[in-house]
Each structure stands twice: as C-alpha cells, then as structure tokens.
Amino acid sequence: MARWLARRLLLAALTVAIAITLAFFLMRLAPGDPLSRLGDERPMPAAELAGLRARYGLDQPLLSQYATFVVAATGGDFGRSIHYGRPVREIILDRLPASVLLGGGALLLTMLGGALLGAMQALRRDSPLDRTAGVVSLAAYATPSFWLGLVLAWLVGIEWRLLPVGGFRDPLLAPDAPWMTQVVDLLRHLALPLLTLTVVSIGAVMRYQRTAMLEALAQPFVAAARARGLSERRIRWRHALRTSLFPIVTLLGLWLPVLAAGSVFVESVFAWPGLGSLAAEAVGTRDYPLLMGVTLLVAVLVVLGGLLADLAYAALDPRVRPA
Amino acid sequence: MSPLLEVRDLRVTFPDRATGGVHPVDGVSFELARGETLALVGESGCGKSLSALALLRLVPPPGRIASGSAVVLDGTDVLALDDKSLRKVRGRRIAMIFQDPMTSLNPVFTVGDQITEVVHAHFKVPKQEARDRALKLLNEVGIPDAASRLDAYPHQLSGGMRQRVMIAIALAGEPELLIADEPTTALDVTVQAQILELLDQLRATHGMSMLLITHDLGIVAGRADRVAVMYAGQIVEQASTAALFAKPSHPYTQGLFASVPRLTGPVGHLMPIPGTVPPPSAWPSGCRFRTRCPIVHARSAEMPPMLQVGPEHSMRCWLAEDQQ
C-alpha cells in the first residue's frame, strides 16, 4: 500500500510538472504578451515599454524565464499578477472559496442526484418515467452551459425578478448583517449558477448510472440474493447499487477540477468571483503569472482526482485493493 | 405421508413473436418426499434449470409461470403467495445453490457478510449470534481456518471453497429443501466428488430433501433416490434410481446411458445421440424426441402421456404400451 501510494504520488508530480511546462510554453507561443495591450489606450514610448518588459523579465530568453519560474514556484512563489499587481497566491486564495462553493456544490448535487435518478430509471426500466428521464437527461447533456445560464438569468432574474443574476453577495447588504441574512443572501446568489452547472452535468451521470445499474441488476448474484429471500430493497440498494458505482467514481475523478476552475462559462455569465472567471480574465490580459498559478492548481486537482478515484475504487471493490 | 413438495403441470411461458409464446418448461410434474433426493437429469436446454427457478418464482422476465401450474410446498401453493410470504419460503424453506459460485456471490462483500445477511433475513438474532452461526456453518461445510475466512472476499477463495460458501449460505436459512443446480459443473473434477459428498452428508444430517439438477448421469447413481429425465421441457422418464439404471426404458434415456463412458464391462464405442435439443420454438408436434429417436414409434405424431413401465417407473413413450 505504501509503495503503491509512493509510486502514484511520484507519477502525479511528474504529470503536474509536464502539464505546467506545456502550459508555460504554449502560453508564450500565443500572440501578444501582458504588455502588448498597454499601447491601446494611449501611445506609449518604446523606451518606457522596454523598461516594463525588463521589469517583468519578459525580455529574457524563454528558457531563462522558464528556469526563473520553476525555481520560484518550487519555493511556493508564483510571482505577482501583472494585471492586478498583487501576489498570484493571494489572488487565488481570495477566489478559491467561491469556486469551491459553486464547484463543490455542483459536484455533490450532480453525483448524488445523478446516481439516484439513474438507479431509479434502471429500476423502472422502460416505464414512462424512465423514458421521460432519458429524453430530459439527453437534452440537459446537450445544452451549452453559457446558453442555459443566460436563459435562466434572463427568465428567473430579469423577467420574474426572483433571484439575483450575478455576483456573490448583495452590494447593499451591510457587512455586519446577521449571519442568517448573509447565508440566505449567499444562497440566493448561488442558486442560478449552481442550477446551471448541475443541469448541464447531471445528464451524463444519469445515463452512466442507469446503464451500470441495469448491468448490476442482471448479475447472477442478484438472482442468487433473491433466491435467499432477501428483501427487494436490500437487493437493489445494497447489492446492485454498490456494484454499479464504478462509472460514477470515474466521472467524479475526472470532474474534480471543476472545484477550482468551476466552469469558466458559468462563472463568467453570472459574474461569480471564482477561479474560472479569473482564468478567463487572465487569458484576455495575457497575465502570465496568474495563468500559470491557475493552471498549476487545475493540474494538481486533475491528478488528485485520478488518485482519489483509484482510492474510491479500492474502497468499493476488494478485488482492486493493492496488496 | 404427504410429500414435502408437489409440482403439478408446471409450465413456463416466454413470449415469442412467431408462435405467440413458447413453453421451455411444458407440463412438468413430480413429487419430492421429506429426506428424499430427486435427480433432474437432461441435456442443456431441456428446461431443468428453469424448472428449478420456477419453484422459487425466479423465472427471469419476460418469462412467466403459466396459470394452471402448481408448486405445493407442504400444503401451501408457492405460486399463490404474496411477496412477503414468498420471501419466507425463499432461502428459509427452499434454498438454492447455483452452478457458478463466482458469479453467484457478490464480489464486494465478505463471506461472513453474505452468510449473516441470510441469517438476519430469516431469524431475529443479535449480530454476534449471526456471526457465530456463520462461523459454525463455514466449519460445517469443511472450510479450513473458518474464523479468518469470515472476513475473506469471494475472489480470495478457490472455486471449491466458494461453492462451499454457497452451500453454507444455503444452509443459513435451515431449509427443508435444497435445490442444487449443477453444483459441480464449474469445478475441477477432483473437487466435484468432495462437494457432492458434502451435499449428501449435509442432506442427511439436516434431514433435508434435495433436488439435484445435473446433465451428468454419472453423479446420480448412489446419491439420488429417484431420477426424472427431462427432454424438451417435459419429464420423459421417471423411476427409482435402481430401476432406471437397471432398465433405462425411454429411447432418450437409453441414448444418455450409451453416451456415458463406463469403467466396467466390455470396451465399446460411445454412442452419442445425434443432433441437439431443438429450441422450444422448433419442437415437433407429438413426441418431442421423434426427430432424434432411433426407433420412431408408429404413433409418434401423437404426444404420448406418462405410461407405466414398472412399479414406480413411468415414461413418456408409446413403446410402454407395446411392452404391456
């Protein structure tokens, strides 16, 4: 077990290193750099621009920039954002809670809801409920998140005036308002982005879970359990469900990065102050240090997702437990 | 004394677009006395396993048991029970052992879990008591180091051990009838004899009846009290084991015997029965064996009833009439 974990962690570190290296060079291959838009608003003397380039190290050869970044990053220093002028770490930590709240909530709702609905579909196979859910889940799966986000924002937020259409908290809310009021305000802001993100991802989970559950229900051990006089509830929710959760675990591992990146689209549509909208801005402004910071975080979450999925497999199925 | 189990005219229907419905089990009737072992013998596809599943109402959908069928266990019609009462029969009064012990055990639960689960389903006992019973059962079915095996997962056991676990699970409900559906087919030959021996011994010590389903006449002798031979959804010959082995009468039974290699007697050629069991949609009218029968009676276009050949020996063949 310890050896297996050590090997996996080494592999994970390697993956992260490769990912950020790729990101580093790809970003600089893209046209423009953090300062190229500076001259847009007012003409800037070339000497001044060159001075700024030198200040941010952008005049150095690419490999030496890379070396500087790696050395600093290993020490936990990701530099300062060129756009915000603040340390990248600080900005990311500022934005992280909103992303974790939205991404985590969506992940939880998607996985639990999708697993439950998919399993129920399988148990009522070919019933009107199953068919309806099948059509709805496919439609939800095919809906682009930014479109659904805009429609919900317009309908619920603007037409019906039920919920706020953007942001994280009501700007008019007093900072010393009672905590209940603050929580309700937060939930009202969270509702639409969370709904959007959940709706567009739950379809896939439902479809995977339905198939897996049907497969599990057809296993001989299910018939054997019936022959032993076990209750139908126990057979379904203990024997069949437990063995049907593997595809969900795979998806959970793959989707862990949404915790951080949330959804770039959904966060942008709802002006949710998470890392997704931050990354989108950083791309626009070619804010290299900030982009590298976000990329690194996402890369770490990707490998962590894989690792967690493997651990979850082992917890679910004794046959894949490392000796 | 009334029999423990009485099966009358059991018929299983599957929808079939061409014919409107087929009956892979078509009018099976037999009785099983307390403590008795009946062997149900036939080639694959003859309906023997499906008959066994039907006794517990476990026919896989879209199949169903046709009306007019009766499965009477000690006076109660199993086919008429509601779900709750049915669960008190399944595993508790009739237990079943399946062919493949690997797929019939849930891979993600420990052996102990799967035994105690059945104990809890049928008896109101505290956890520790259920675990004690599981341990006792594992010892009884001859699993060495039973205490540590309680926490083992199925994949950590050999095929023979897994089948012993299946037997322990079956015994956990203290059933009156044990159905063993090809219990040794998936096992190594060396293990087969041990498992059959164990089943026989447990049947005796627990006073159970046993329905032994097999395609192998070789394992029937010395174990079963009576034998019912099935062909194409019907019982074609039924007799005490001694009578059947002394005088196999139905041409199909004779064919089965001729295709079994013998260790004693003159060395001869094995005589396989030509062809295979046709699927239910292609069964001939009249005698169902007539397409493969070496004799083909003049009346074979009519379905023969079960006819007496001797005391407690009957067969579904017109030849029986000629012999009388």
| H or E stretch at B226 | strand B226-231
Gyration radius of chain A's alpha carbons: 24
Q: Which residue has 């626009």 as its token pair?
A: A284
pLDDT at position B15 is 92
Chain B residues whose CB is inside 8 A of the A239 CB are: 106, 109
**Candidate from B83, B109, B121 with C-beta closest to A228:** B121
**Candidate from A223, A228, A242 with C-beta closest to B108:** A242
HSE of A137, CA atoms in CB hemisphere, 13 A? 22
Main-chain phi, psi angles of B39, to 5 degrees? -100, 130
Chain A residues whose CB is inside 8 A of the B105 CB are: 221, 224
Contacting A with CB below 8 Å, chain B residues are 53, 56, 58, 60, 83, 87-92, 95-96, 98, 100, 103-110, 117-118, 121-122, 153, 155-156, 169-170, 172-173
Is cis: bond before B15, omega within 30 of 0?
no
Distance of CA B226 to the CA centre of its chain: 12
**Hey, are the CB atoms on B106 and A243 less than 8 Å from each other?**
yes
- Distance (Å, rounded) from C-alpha A227 to C-alpha B54? 11
> Which positions ≥6 away from A168 have C-beta within 8 Å?
A98, A186, A189, A272, A273
**Candidate from B60, B90, B108 with C-beta closest to A227:** B90
Chain B residues whose CB is inside 8 A of the A228 CB are: 90-91, 95, 117-118, 121, 169-170, 172-173
Mutate one of A217, A222, A228, A239 to test the B interface: name it (highest B CB count within 10 A): A228
B174 C-beta neighbours (distance < 10 Å), count: 16
Distance of CA B309 to the CA centre of its chain: 24
β B94-97/B177-181 pair status: parallel
Strand partners, B25: B12
Least CA distance to A323: which residue of chain B? Answer: B156
**Hey, are the CB atoms on B91 and A219 less than 8 Å from each other?**
no
**Candidate from A225, A229, A316 with C-beta closest to B108:** A316
pLDDT at position A215 is 95
Question: Taking Cα atoms as reference points, which of B245, B296, B252 lies closest to residue B274?
Answer: B252
Question: In this structure, are residues B257 and B217 in contact, taking their beta carbons and an 8 Å threshold?
Answer: yes
HSE of A155, CA atoms in CB hemisphere, 13 A? 8
**Hey, are the CB atoms on A229 and B105 less than 8 Å from each other?**
no
| H or E stretch at B28 | strand B22-32
**Candidate from B96, B103, B106 with C-beta closest to A227:** B96
- Distance (Å, rounded) from C-alpha A97 to C-alpha A163? 21
What domains does chain B contain, in order, with CATH numbers? 5-83+219-323 (3.40.50.300)
Tell me the two tokens of residue B278. Answer: 């046709």
- Distance (Å, rounded) from C-alpha B97 to C-alpha A220? 12
Question: Taking Cα atoms as reference points, which of A70, A93, A81 lies closest to residue A282?
Answer: A81
Question: In this structure, are residues A59 and A66 in contact, taking their beta carbons and an 8 Å threshold?
Answer: no
Mutate one of A125, A127, A221 to test the B interface: name it (highest B CB count within 10 A): A221
**Hey, are the CB atoms on B87 and A231 less than 8 Å from each other?**
yes
> Which positions ≥6 away from A109 have C-beta within 8 Å?
A194, A198, A202
Main-chain phi, psi angles of A115, to 5 degrees? -65, -45
Tell me, what DSSP letter sits at residue A322? -
Q: Distance from first CA to last CA of chain B, Å, rounded?
A: 30
Measured CA to CA in angstroms, residue A104 lies from A91, A140, A257, A307, A315 at distances of: 20, 20, 10, 18, 21
pLDDT at position A140 is 92
Query: Shortest Cα distance from B15 to chain A (angstroms)?
Result: 17
- Distance (Å, rounded) from C-alpha B96 to C-alpha B180? 6
pLDDT at position B263 is 66
Q: Which residues of chain B have pLDDT under 70?
A: 1, 262-268, 324
> Which positions ≥6 away from A262 have C-beta within 8 Å?
A99, A102, A103, A106, A197, A272, A274, A275, A276, A277
Least CA distance to A244: which residue of chain B? Answer: B108
Secondary structure string (H, E, C) spanning B294-317: CCCCCCCCCCCCCEEEECCEEECC
Query: Shortest Cα distance from A241 to chain B (angstroms)?
Result: 11
DSSP B58-117: -PPTT-EEPTT-EEEETTEEGGG--HHHHHHHBTTTEEEE-S-HHHHS-TTS-HHHHHHH
Measured CA to CA in angstroms, residue A16 lies from A63, A187, A252, B31, B177 at distances of: 19, 34, 19, 70, 61
Query: Shortest Cα distance from A123 to chain B (angstroms)?
Result: 14
CATH architecture group of domain A108-283: Orthogonal Bundle (1.10)
Query: Shortest Cα distance from B54 to chain A (angstroms)?
Result: 11
Chain B residues whose CB is inside 8 A of the A319 CB are: 107, 153, 155
**Hey, are the CB atoms on B155 and A239 less than 8 Å from each other?**
no
pLDDT at position A169 is 82
**Hey, are the CB atoms on B98 and A224 less than 8 Å from each other?**
yes
pLDDT at position A150 is 93
**Hey, are the CB atoms on A231 and B91 less than 8 Å from each other?**
no
pLDDT at position A177 is 84
> Which positions ≥6 away from A100 have C-beta within 8 Å?
A259, A260
Tell me, what DSSP letter sits at residue A87? B
Residue type, B159: G
- Distance (Å, rounded) from C-alpha A149 to C-alpha A154? 8
Burial class from Cβ neighbours inside 10 Å (0-12, 13-18, 19+) for residue B190 reads exposed
Chain A residues whose CB is inside 8 A of the B155 CB are: 318-319
**Candidate from A219, A229, A231 with C-beta closest to B92:** A229
Chain A residues whose CB is inside 8 A of the B92 CB are: 229
> Which positions ≥6 away from B243 have C-beta within 8 Å?
B310, B311, B312, B313
Render each residue's pLDDT in chain A as its tens digit; 323 residues: 788 888 888 998 999 999 999 999 998 888 877 877 776 667 778 888 888 888 888 888 889 989 988 898 888 888 888 888 899 999 999 998 898 899 999 999 999 999 999 999 999 999 999 999 999 999 999 999 889 999 999 999 899 988 888 888 888 888 888 889 989 999 999 999 999 999 999 999 999 999 999 999 999 999 999 999 999 999 999 999 999 998 888 888 888 887 666 678 889 899 999 888 888 888 888 888 898 998 888 888 888 888 888 888 888 888 887 66
- Distance (Å, rounded) from C-alpha A172 to C-alpha A174? 6
- Length of chain B measured in residues: 324
Buried-exposed string A209-223: b where 16+ CB fall within 10 A, e elsewhere: bbebbbebbebbbbb
Measured CA to CA in angstroms, residue B293 lies from B238, B252, B272 at distances of: 18, 7, 12
Tell me the two tokens of residue B122. Answer: 């049928």
**Hey, are the CB atoms on B118 and A239 less than 8 Å from each other?**
no
Mutate one of B55, B93, B106, B185 to test the A interface: name it (highest A CB count within 10 A): B106
Query: Shortest Cα distance from B17 to chain A (angstroms)?
Result: 19
Q: Which residue has 């420990």 as its token pair?
A: B110
**Hey, are the CB atoms on B107 and A230 less than 8 Å from each other?**
no
B308 C-beta neighbours (distance < 10 Å), count: 13
Quote the ipTM score. Answer: 0.89
Q: Which residue has 């102050």 as its token pair?
A: A273
Burial class from Cβ neighbours inside 10 Å (0-12, 13-18, 19+) for residue B285 reads exposed
